[in-house]
Amino acid sequence: MKKFSSLLHNLILTPSRNTKIKLLQDYFKSLDINSAYALAILSDQLSFQFIKASKLREIVYEQVDQNLFDFSYDYVGDLAETISLIWPTKKEGKSLSLSTLIENIKKIKKSEINAEFSKILSQLSNNERWTLIKICTGGLRIGVSERLVKTALADQYNKSVNEIEEIWHGLEFPYKDLFEWLKNKTSKPKIDFRKLFHPMMLANPIDEEKDFKRLNANEFQAEYKWDGIRVQLMVSSKSVSLYSRTGENISSAFPEIIEFTKGDAVIDGELLVGKNFQPLGFNDLQQRLNRKKASKDLQKKYPVFIRAYDILFYKGKDLRKLYLLERRKYLEKFQKENKTNRIDLSCIINFSTWTELAKYKNNFNDDLNEGVMIKLKSSEYLPGRKKGYWYKWKKNPKLVDAILMYAQRGHGKRSSYYSDFTFGVWKEKELVPIGKAYSGYTDKELIDLDKFIRNNTTNRFGPVREVKKEIILEVAFDDVFPSNRHKSGVAMRFPRIHRIRWDKPLNEILSIEEFKKEFKIS
Amino acid sequence: MDFINHQLFIKDINVHIDPILPKKTAIITHGHADHARFGHDHVIATRQTIDIMKIRYGDKCAKKFTPLQYGQKYSIKNYDFTLYPAGHILGSAQILIEKNNHRLVITGDYKVGKDETCKNFKLVRCDTLITEATFGLPIYQHPDPKDEIQKLIRSVKINRNNCHIVGAYALGKAQRVMNLLRQNNYNETIYIHGSLEKLCQYYSKEKINIGKFEKVSSKDKNLYEGKIIIAPPSALKDRWSRRFPNPIICMASGWMTVKQRAKQQGIELPLVISDHSDWNELLDTIKKSKAKNILITHGQEDALVYYCKTQNLSSKPLSIKGRSDEEME
């Protein structure tokens, strides 16, 4: 555990990619059970169902005054770090290996978690405690992607990173077959590709100034960018399964897709809510998300379908090395052959110049898409976010000026800065909050806002500070919906701080009625 | 204790403690720039604090100086002032103010832990305690500075082709790091940023063991491979630090306790070495002072105020303008 915790500590503090790779390779020198756990942790595949953040709080409250913990957590902005630092017992026990420690935790009986887990925390050093809690809560956020770990391994054991990538989703802890192959003791692990989730091809945002000068419009095809969730559908005569973009199996949440899909293919597309292939907004889709199951009622009220835009396998044939244009022909064929499907095709936009395409992108009457996708006609299906093949070109955001009302400290990278901002507009003579944003500003703007907040706090509610009402924020957002959860009656989608309007007077801010009118909310 | 206001001003006799703006009479706890300023008529402080002010601002930074020894009483009308060691940096002092049998202590910045670069903290019993709270959260439990300095020494041994640049405040922390290195048998020349030179010379003159040091020059960059350079934190982000061979950026500060802080500042090797009291030392001082009334200045007051209330002590925060709650020396 000492070794693994210092690996994480060093990884988080090292800015250089090469040094990170070196640190990883140092750790993966021997490929044993500890490395297997490390690999599972670094790729976020290990989690303890029974030790969640709420459980950890419960455990720490047994040791530390709750108010003192809350003050500290608010300040640090990271649960693992707060607990590791505030933990009162500093006696270090004998150091266990990563695997022994995890296996010991797995053995804890549910009824004894609090006492047993406390005991373990007390035997660790600060840094080990931090590591263990990070492992429990998942999502390390140490600036190391899964891809970087694979790159380090590939480089260390003379394999290509794409080879690892291809078989990755077919591998399982404790990665015996992978390790043996890396050590050249066996051949590459055999994976049934038809059952396997295939990492998706992702798009880069377009740089309007640079890219359009460089790219030839004729070589690209465009489609609308739909505002749903990205899915991969695997259908064969034996089974149908649906995966999210991260490779999580989400079949049980969308039974109507599973039931009504036929054929033999792997399809890439967007899951949307709507009847007769008429998509509804993201707000409706949200009713179907984050659920393990969907009741009949829910299926009826919010039916889902897939808007397909790519095909990876057709009747057992791997199409990923073909050009997009050719894959599209297979996709159309698949769709024609299986008419009963809950699948339609993403339509292709005809355009000959980028200026012409801009008209489609900015079509504000159609709020259901977020802009356009631009794809190289001759692109193979490549996993990850490779440059030069697929681009996304988002609509210009909607903008509104609002008054800064409250602020709270941020988390992670921005911990201890006041970086979460609640802003509002007028409702008669009072202000009513319309949203909260924690991104979009420059580092300099963040420092300025942080300073303003510290010097102009008028009231405190726990971690939240109310501030003097004098800063106007220009807020950009993707969309706004009616909502009965908020006092203002509106909910914004992806609000972020566009800029600070140091110049604008308060009385030029809209009222909530004007705001609703402008963005067509009844 | 009604005689002193939230700005540490005693109106009755027109005396300020650590004022930010030029005043008639100023009692100065220590030489850091957020406490010791230029332009007062009359400065009362320890001899070392006065020396340090003169080094930093020139001999004429005040019209009149009154040096006091630790424990020596100084009276203005019916107010008696006595300075006691604060253990923060060389010359740092707490101020005991006695009036009509009421004892009030202003700790200034202080630390309880051992430090060879200054006189160690002395606990003073009182009725009212005005304490600092820079690290007033229970997450701050400072490790043994010896273990921290060993991390630096070990890293220097392993990374022979790199130079280690240690960010440390020019006054106090820099010399403490140097002294800790010497205590742990690091005997090589320590290189320093130009802005540290006069203060290091002063510490040497005061017989503080900081060993052999030399100002970095721009001559031969490779000279600094495998060496330790000490620089003020502001220089770490500056172009200044880029000219050295494969620098590993280190920082000696209590703030380094929180990893995310270190990361935000681009610190690769954080060293938790603090000249302020940690949470337990703050609580201990409050307890042992026997004070019934606790006022808490700059830093993380909330948790400490809350703690005092749980101990049935009267307590409130004092907000002193001009001291940022973070990033002070």
Q: For residue range B209-222, what is the model confidence (pLDDT) as tens digits? A: 999 999 998 777 77
Class of domain A204-394 (CATH, top level)? alpha beta
B269 neighbourhood in chain A, CB within 8 Å: 13
- Residue pair B288/B137 in contact by the 8 Å Cβ criterion: no
Q: For residue range A457-472, what is the model confidence (pLDDT) as tens digits? A: 888 877 789 999 999 9
A12 neighbourhood in chain B, CB within 8 Å: 259, 263
- What percentage of residues in chain A have a pLDDT greater than 90? 55
The pLDDT confidence band at residue B327, using thresholds 50, 70 and 90, is: very low
Question: Does residue A414 or residue B141 have the better pLDDT?
Answer: B141
Distance between A72 CA and the closest CA of chain B, angstroms: 6
Beta-ladder partners of A220: A376
CATH superfamily of A2-137: DNA ligase, ATP-dependent, N-terminal domain (1.10.3260.10)
DSSP, collapsed to helix, strand or coil, labels residue A361 as helix
The first and second tokens of residue B3, run together, are: 């005689």
A368 CB-near residues (< 8 Å, 6+ apart): A226, A227, A279, A280, A281
B264 neighbourhood in chain A, CB within 8 Å: 413, 415
Q: Count A/B contacts: CB-CB distance under 8 Å.
A: 66
The pLDDT confidence band at residue B321, using thresholds 50, 70 and 90, is: low
If phi > 0 it is left, if psi is from -120 to 50 it is alpha, else beta; for residue B71 that is: left
Please indicate if any CB of chain A lies within 8 Å of the CB of B310. yes
pLDDT in the model for residue A49: 67
Asked whether the predicted pLDDT for residue B325 surpasses 50, the reply is: no
DSSP, collapsed to helix, strand or coil, labels residue B73 as strand
Asked whether the predicted pLDDT for residue A232 surpasses 50, the reply is: yes
Question: Does residue A521 or residue B189 have the better pLDDT?
Answer: B189
Question: Does residue A331 or residue A409 have the better pLDDT?
Answer: A331
Q: For residue range A79-131, what is the model confidence (pLDDT) as tens digits? A: 999 999 999 977 666 789 999 999 999 899 988 999 999 999 999 999 999 99
Q: What is the mean pLDDT of residues A3-13?
A: 94
The pLDDT confidence band at residue B326, using thresholds 50, 70 and 90, is: very low
From A65, A85, A413, residue closest to B139, measured CB to CB: A85
Please indicate if any CB of chain B lies within 8 Å of the CB of A325. no
Asked whether the predicted pLDDT for residue B21 surpasses 80, the reply is: yes
pLDDT in the model for residue A522: 67
Q: Which residue, A172, A185, A187, is CA-closest to A36?
A: A172
In whole angstroms, give the CA distance from residue A207 to residue A422.
Answer: 30
Q: Do A71 and B261 touch (CB under 8 A)?
A: no
Please name the fold of domain B9-139+276-317: Metallo-beta-lactamase; Chain A (3.60.15)
pLDDT in the model for residue B221: 74
Q: Which residues of A437-447 are buried (b: 16+ CB within 10 A; e: fewer)?
A: bbebbeeeebe
Peptide bond into A174 cis (omega under 30): yes
CATH architecture of A398-518: Beta Barrel (2.40)
Q: What is the mean pLDDT of residues A334-344?
A: 89
Contacts 24+ apart (CB under 8 A), A327-336: A327/A381, A331/A267, A334/A263, A334/A265, A334/A267, A335/A308
Q: Do B262 and A13 touch (CB under 8 A)?
A: yes
Contacts 24+ apart (CB under 8 A), A164-172: A165/A199, A165/A383, A165/A384, A166/A191, A167/A191, A168/A199, A169/A196, A169/A197, A169/A198, A169/A199, A169/A247, A170/A195, A170/A196
HSE-CB at A392 with a 13 A cutoff on CA atoms is: 16
Q: What is the mean pLDDT of residues A176-203?
A: 87
pLDDT in the model for residue A415: 67
The pLDDT confidence band at residue B52, using thresholds 50, 70 and 90, is: very high
Least confidently predicted of A335-339, A433-437, B294-298, B318-322 = B318-322
> Which of B141, B147, B241, B259 to mutate to test binding with chain A, by most A CBs within 10 Å of its CB?
B259
pLDDT in the model for residue A31: 95
Asked whether the predicted pLDDT for residue B160 surpasses 80, the reply is: yes
The pLDDT confidence band at residue B297, using thresholds 50, 70 and 90, is: confident
Q: What is the mean pLDDT of residues B98-106?
A: 96
Q: Do A413 and B266 touch (CB under 8 A)?
A: no
Per-chain mean pLDDT for chain B:
92
The first and second tokens of residue A257, run together, are: 């897709």
Asked whether the predicted pLDDT for residue B329 surpasses 60, the reply is: no
* Burial class (CB within 10 angstroms; exposed 0-12, middle 13-18, buried 19+) of A55: middle
**What is the pTM for the complete model shown?**
0.75
Asked whether the predicted pLDDT for residue B328 surpasses 90, the reply is: no
Distance of CA B288 to the CA centre of its chain: 22
Q: Do B139 and A65 touch (CB under 8 A)?
A: no
Q: What is the mean pLDDT of residues A166-195?
A: 86
The pLDDT confidence band at residue A367, using thresholds 50, 70 and 90, is: low
pLDDT in the model for residue B44: 98
Q: What is the mean pLDDT of residues B103-114?
A: 96
Q: For residue range A249-284, what is the model confidence (pLDDT) as tens digits? A: 899 899 999 988 889 999 999 999 998 888 887 778
- Residue pair B175/B117 in contact by the 8 Å Cβ criterion: yes
Question: Does residue B323 or residue B152 have the better pLDDT?
Answer: B152
Least confidently predicted of B15-29, B208-222, B265-279 = B208-222
Angle between helices A2-13 and A33-42 (to 10 degrees): 30
Domain boundaries, chain A: 2-137, 204-394, 398-518
Chain A's closest residue to B323, CA to CA, is A455
Beta-ladder partners of B93: B85
Per-chain mean pLDDT for chain A:
89
Q: For residue range B169-202, what is the model confidence (pLDDT) as tens digits? A: 999 999 999 999 999 999 999 999 999 999 999 9
From A14, A76, A90, residue closest to B268, measured CB to CB: A14
Please name the fold of domain B145-271: Rossmann fold (3.40.50)
In whole angstroms, give the CA distance from residue B176 to residue B149.
Answer: 11
